[in-house]
Amino acid sequence: MARTFILWLHGLGDSGPANEPIQTQFKSSELSNASWLFPSAPFNPVTCNNGAVMRSWFDVPELPFKVGSPIDESSVLEAVKNVHAIIDQEIAEGTNPENVFICGLSQGGALTLASVLLYPKTLGGGAVLSGWVPFTSSIISQFPEEAKKTPILWSHGTDDRMVLFEAGQAALPLLKEAGVTCEFKAYPGLGHSISNKELKYIESWIKRRLKGSSSTCLQLNCLKEMFH
Question: Rounded distance, CA 158 to CA 186, Å?
Answer: 6
Q: Which of 106, 115, 130, 155 is catalytic?
A: 106
Closest CA to 126 of 140, 109, 139: 109
Three state DSSP letters for 169-189: HCHHHHHHHHCCCEEEEEECC
> Vertex 191, ends 135 and 224: CA angle to 5°?
65
156 flagged as catalytic: no
Q: Which of 14, 115, 155, 192 is catalytic?
A: 192
Q: Which of 40, 56, 130, 160 is catalytic?
A: 160
Q: What residue ranges in the chain does DSSP mark as E strands?
A: 5-9, 35-37, 43-46, 52-55, 100-105, 125-129, 152-157, 182-187
106 flagged as catalytic: yes
213 flagged as catalytic: no
Sign of CA dihedral 60, 63, 66, 70: negative
Supply the residues annotated as catalytic: 106, 160, 192
